[in-house]
Amino acid sequence: MASIQLKIYSAALKTRTNVNVFLPSLLPDQNGATKRKHDFTTYYETHKDFPVLYLLHGTFGDEGDWQRFTRIEDYARNHNLAVVMPYGENSFYRDTDAGKDYETYITQELPQVIQWMFPVSKKREDTFIGGLSMGGTGAVRLGLAHPEIYGYTIGLSAVTDPIENLIDKEEFTVWSHAFVNSEHGQGSADDLYDLADKAMKSEKVRTKLYLAVGTGDFLYEGNCKYHEYLEKIGYEHVFSTGEGIHNFDFWDPQIRKAIHEWLPLQSAGRVAGL
């Protein structure tokens, strides 16, 4: 995999921001590593339109979290999957009153930048979004709200309960700036129940959902309730749970499972031990 660190100016954020990217590249078994004769032309002529997964980090995190704390590069390499990991502050990936419009950035501007720079697919069925904790919440919300962009959505330990439970207007929180002068109660753009309900009533395409949470996670009960609601309204989804808490010991095997077993990807093949 090619590992790329970008620093770009974002019109939606009105500032420079960081993005980390993994892009499938030539492997030893595709070149003939043990032979003097080499071949690389065929690979670059035939490998393009890679499926792409946008991965969002959690609160206090950054664009490097997925690389530091999971084996995401290895999982992606096994399936010729491009991975885009943007920086999202503690924004919940919302458009904010302060002028940093993270939803616009993630759903509109960043995909255009990535499609302009790299040989990734523009098809919704090849475009995925996922995240953990705050990023899981953002991924589920954006996936439900923009099914024309994301064919598949992964939410690990997402906040599925009403978001106002986290936001106290009388007290500062690390997310306060993201919710200034905005509606975020029942029926708002942040209401995952309402978004799922509207998606079921719409004639548009729907994103497929993969939700996962550990049984020891403080968000477990809320995720179970959301899973039950999705089943009630008939929304197609996978609900994966097991022993674990709110940390990468649970999230790493779950993102592996989602990539290897759930996303519509083909194995890239590789040589072991090289």
pLDDT at residue number 132 = 98
Please report, rounded to a whole number, the percentage of residues in the chain having pLDDT higher than 90. Answer: 74
* pLDDT single digits (tens) 183-194: 555 556 789 999
Fold assignment, 2-262: Rossmann fold (3.40.50)
pLDDT at residue number 190 = 81
Kindly state the average pLDDT of the residues 148-164.
Answer: 91
CA 12 to chain centre: 19
| Mean pLDDT, all residues of the chain | 90
pLDDT at residue number 33 = 62
Q: Which two tokens stand for residue 148?
A: 């024309």
* pLDDT single digits (tens) 212-228: 999 999 999 999 999 99
Q: Name the band, by pLDDT with cuts 50, 70 and 90, for residue 270.
A: very low
pLDDT at residue number 274 = 30
pLDDT at residue number 209 = 98
CB 78 within 8 A of CB 261: no
Pairing status of strand 152-156 against strand 208-214: parallel
* pLDDT single digits (tens) 85-99: 999 998 999 998 877
In three state form, how does the secondary structure of 205-272 look?
A: CCCEEEEEEECCCCCHHHHHHHHHHHHHHCCCEEEEEECCCCCHHHHHHHHHHHHHHHCCCCCCCCCC
* pLDDT single digits (tens) 127-144: 999 999 999 999 999 999
